[in-house]
Structure 1
Amino acid sequence: MQKKQNSTSVIWFRNNLRIQDNTSLFKAIHHHEKTIAVYFFDPKYFEIDTFGFKKTEKFRAKFLIETIADLKRNLANLNITLLTYFKSPEEELPKICEQFTVETIYTQKEWTDEEIKTNSLLKRVLQNVKFVEDFDQFLYHPNSVSKDFSNIPDVFTTFKKGIEKKVTIESEISVSKLAETNLIDTKTAIPTLKDLGFEDFQTNRNSAFPFRGGETEALKRLDYYLFETKKVSVYKNTRNGLVGIDYSTKFSPWLANGSLSAKTIYWKIKQFEKEFGSNESTYWVIFELIWRDYFKFISLKYGYKIFKIEGILDVSYHWNNNSKAVNSWIEGKTKDDFVNANMIELKETGWMSNRGRQNVASYFAKELLLDWRIGAAYFESILLDYDVHSNYGNWMYVSGVGNDPRDRKFNTQFQAQNYDGNYKFRNLWLEKTLF
């Protein structure tokens, strides 16, 4: 591949915070003589939303800072400088492009409302700079799945059967080190938690996710869960657990900010199956990745409708908007002890199990009949592994305005008996002293 002489490219990192299997990084390095990387801690993601929650709370903020520090080190090992700003891209990117005579910006393809607005503002200002955007957060590449996203099935099983039969998963992409001359002198600082408006804090000793952010930690966890402990071979039996670090993969926070790619997980599982054999559990991790893809495809199909109260089904229910009931749910002070334990875990750690999420969301929307978007906004604020498509897709699903054809309501007490019959989880989080 021929590099363009005397040309400079910028890799604008978003939710693709890794050097392994990164299309934007690969293209920037291979098409241009000089490459600079940039990441923005965009102030709008630390503001208060329409429902009164900070869009990014302290747990994900800290995880993000750790992730960017790791990305900076990993890029430096490739002789690429990462510039970091606590400013909006539209404020700072034009200055960078002018200072370094940037020809092309490489970035991850985004399609939800806020990201599209940012892109439009930038493209209006940077008319002489080329934008190259790539879908880089999927297991199955969208271009291989459909030429028309309106054809994406509304039932998950139909979607899954179709892609598993017809679509192949692409290989991972790797990059090689650049010459030291690629480094630039410009120095910028990664903002601290205090800069972002938070006090520093210690991870709760009972947290089921005590891990640090960044690609290095993500790959360590992947190796641990697959090859070191072989926990992956019993995943299907343990995945509905509630206590401890190993009942599930815990890959989701790294997947959410893109410090780990779905393809990397897939090909590592394939390697594991080759060495130690496949079973229902090894497949089930891939099955969960397909679910993750599915909500992204539903978002591509329906656009802004995933944020509307009627959801993708255009159904009108009577939703309550009782702030006292919302606060009781957030604080873990409802009439339901299983819901309360899960909500306290979330408030104290930024983490909740998949089983817990389904129960508390169902209780919020189907028992309290509260506007599901408030619950989704709270999750967006506080979850370590917030992913816009999975979050809103799952909330619609549980609330009866999304992709669940059965429109079920969880019996939370039956679920508690089934998954926490010995009260181990509830006792852990409903004790008066958490530290």
Structure 2
Amino acid sequence: MTGKIIICMLRNDLRLHDNEALLWAFKNGSRVLPIYCFDPRHYKGTYHFGFPKTGPHRLKFLLESIQDLRQILKSRGSGLIVRTGKPEEVITDLIQKIGKESIDSLVYSEEVTEEELDVESFLKSSCGVKVKTFWENTLYHRDDLPFHYKQLPDIYTQFRKVVESNVPVRSVLATPRELKPLPSGIEEGNIPTSEDLGVSGVHADSRSAFPYKGGESTGLERIDYYLWQTDKVAHYKETRNCMIGSDYSTKFSPWLAHGCLSPRFIYSEIKRYEKERTANQSTYWVLFELLWRDYFRYVALKYGNMIFYPGGIQGKHIPWKKDKNAFNAWKEGRTGVPYVDANMRELAATGFMSNRGRQNVASFLTKDLKLDWRLGAEWFESMLIDHDVCSNYGNWLYSAGIGNDPREDRKFNMVKQGLDYDPNGDFIRLWIPELNKVKGADIHTVWALSSAVLLRAEVSLAETYPKPLLIAPEWSRHMGKIGSGGGRGRGGGGGSKLKQQKGMDFYFKNSQPR
């Protein structure tokens, strides 16, 4: 292999630490050419409804992650080639320009869904050099599972019990201090701006629960902060369903989704924390949700494009609605249901939403409005900083009742959920300032307030704030418990919660530990 170049295509693995494909290239090549391509297909419309496929918040995080990775590689003697174009075309052209005789191989991490697999298929058949691939981005390696992925259990608990008790997590790979240099004569290329890619720039919102930049560096800093500097991980299970602030949950999911953090590295740090400080339900719960993230990736591997079908992996025939006005009200935070609207406004302003919020707005879209779940999935794809195709679509299928949920007709009670997780309405007031003068828990059912109370709060329904699109029957059992101007603690009967919170704190988490 002396004198040979290894090309490493990077996609959702934007890190140096524990990046098997990239580290293998540096170990085995005389020259290594890491390359990232801004694929123009990622900046067009989503498949069914044409929303911007990569919205401004996620693109901002991606651009920061690319810049950070370039700096990390340069600091160790290498660099990062950046191009705009379809990766299968860019890399094939690059191989021809360099000369096949000078290249040993092309390496990359495997993906599991169709668009990414099409790129891999083209490269394998047309690039003209050896191709070597690696399975990454999961905590538990595909080859270590005690069953073939086609025999994956359709219930998470069954998967978890088998994997936790029988499968070891592979060790984190050592990161070299010095790296092989880039091949000579190849321009590194400029990192494009949002505007270059046809996406409007976005400004930071001071209310955001995710005020962080993209990149491996900030991701590693977040792990250090959340575990070692503050010990907040030791209280994660108690705080993860909160709504306001950056520290109620791990916030690891955006870095996981872009591959800036390795799930195995998070696992190794949690295990070290448990050994050196404390092991409790909270530390376990972070690993529990990392395993949910794995599970949705293996579900996508097992079912392929069925995860995108209207009937999901269960093949149900549900007459989903496509009411444009109702959907627009949902995505813009104008449903007239304050708990839903506050979460949707947070998403639009920041690209982030809590685990609790994601579960509720998804239930409202699919179970109350009865809208096509793919409207919600594609809107999340566009807006979320931490969008991961497997986690996103897996969670939406779960919420819509056509995925891996063993319980049928699961539905969230929006009023009860709001009272449980935002008892005094502080989160709602943060994102719906026109309701700021509504006191206490009354804010959750503003439509039920008397004219006198609304007048004092300077709220005019259908003028300053919308009337609700609907009032679900189950909401009424909680409305009588809210006194005018009164507050309310957590609790109350009725409504359904996800058993074990479904591990969605990583993405819906989908995402991954959020």
* TM-score, length-scaled by structure 2: 0.82
Q: What displacement does 1:26 show?
A: 1.6
Q: 1:129 to 1:370 in 2, by over 3 A?
A: same
Alignment counterpart, residue 420 of structure 1, candidates 402, 422, 428 = 422
Q: C-alpha offsets along residues 209-258 of structure 1, whole Å, 9 cap, x if unaligned?
A: 01000000000000000000000000000000100000000000000000
* Bigger Cα Rg: 2
Distance 1:289 1:64 in 2: 21
Q: What displacement does 1:187 show?
A: 3.0
Q: Which amino acid aligns with 2:133?
A: E
Deviation larger for 88-97 or 355-364: 88-97
Deviation larger for 117-126 or 104-113: 117-126
| Partner in structure 2 of residue 292 of structure 1 | 293
Distance 1:208 1:32 in 2: 42
Q: Which amino acid aligns with 1:48?
A: G
Q: C-alpha offsets along residues 111-138 of structure 1, whole Å, 9 cap, x if unaligned?
A: 2010111122223321x31111111100
Structure 2 counterparts to residues 312-327 of structure 1, below 5 A: 312-327=313-328
Distance 1:29 1:400 in 2: 45
Structure 2 counterparts to residues 17-56 of structure 1, below 5 A: 17-49=14-46, 50-56=48-54
| Partner in structure 2 of residue 97 of structure 1 | 95
Structure 1 segments of 4 or more deviating over 3 A?
177-185
Q: 1:287 to 1:217 in 2, by over 3 A?
A: same
Distance 2:150 2:334 in 1: 42
Q: What displacement does 1:402 show?
A: 0.3
| Partner in structure 2 of residue 175 of structure 1 | 175
| Partner in structure 2 of residue 184 of structure 1 | 184
Distance 1:338 1:153 in 2: 35
The answer to whether the 8 Å contact 2:227/2:233 transfers is: yes
Q: Which amino acid aligns with 1:81?
A: G
Give the aligned length. 430
| Partner in structure 1 of residue 371 of structure 2 | 370
Distance 2:399 2:188 in 1: 47
Structure 2 counterparts to residues 116-155 of structure 1, below 5 A: 116-126=117-127, 128-146=128-146, 148-155=148-155
Deviation larger for 361-370 or 93-102: 93-102
Q: What displacement does 1:335 show?
A: 2.9
Aligned to 2:30, what secondary structure does the other structure show?
A: strand
Q: Percent of pairs identical after alignment?
A: 43
Q: What displacement does 1:332 show?
A: 0.5
Give the aligned CA root-mean-square deviation in angstroms: 1.5
Q: What displacement does 1:164 show?
A: 0.5
**What are the ranges of 5 or more consecutive residues in structure 1 without an aligned counterpart?**
none
| Partner in structure 1 of residue 274 of structure 2 | 273
Q: Which amino acid aligns with 1:414?
A: K
Q: 1:433 to 1:420 in 2, by over 3 A?
A: closer
Distance 1:377 1:181 in 2: 40
Deviation larger for 177-186 or 130-139: 177-186
Distance 1:90 1:235 in 2: 42
Distance 1:132 1:58 in 2: 33
The answer to whether the 8 Å contact 2:314/2:402 transfers is: yes
**What are the ranges of 5 or more consecutive residues in structure 2 without an aligned counterpart?**
437-514
Q: What displacement does 1:180 show?
A: 6.6
The answer to whether the 8 Å contact 2:78/2:181 transfers is: no
Structure 2 counterparts to residues 60-99 of structure 1, below 5 A: 60-99=58-97
Alignment counterpart, residue 409 of structure 1, candidates 405, 408, 411 = 411
The answer to whether the 8 Å contact 1:80/1:183 transfers is: no
Q: C-alpha offsets along residues 367-415 of structure 1, whole Å, 9 cap, x if unaligned?
A: 0010101110000000000000100000000100001111310111100
Distance 1:277 1:181 in 2: 42
Q: What displacement does 1:78 show?
A: 2.5
The answer to whether the 8 Å contact 2:26/2:180 transfers is: no
Q: What displacement does 1:183 show?
A: 5.5
Distance 2:215 2:55 in 1: 18
Alignment counterpart, residue 11 of structure 1, candidates 5, 8, 11 = 8
| Partner in structure 2 of residue 329 of structure 1 | 330
Q: 1:321 to 1:421 in 2, by over 3 A?
A: same
Q: 1:404 to 1:180 in 2, by over 3 A?
A: closer
Q: Which amino acid aligns with 1:362?
A: S
The answer to whether the 8 Å contact 1:22/1:174 transfers is: no
Q: Which amino acid aligns with 2:9?
A: W
Aligned to 2:412, what secondary structure does the other structure show?
A: coil
| Partner in structure 1 of residue 380 of structure 2 | 379
Q: Which amino acid aligns with 1:163?
A: V
The answer to whether the 8 Å contact 1:17/1:71 transfers is: yes
Q: 1:297 to 1:52 in 2, by over 3 A?
A: same
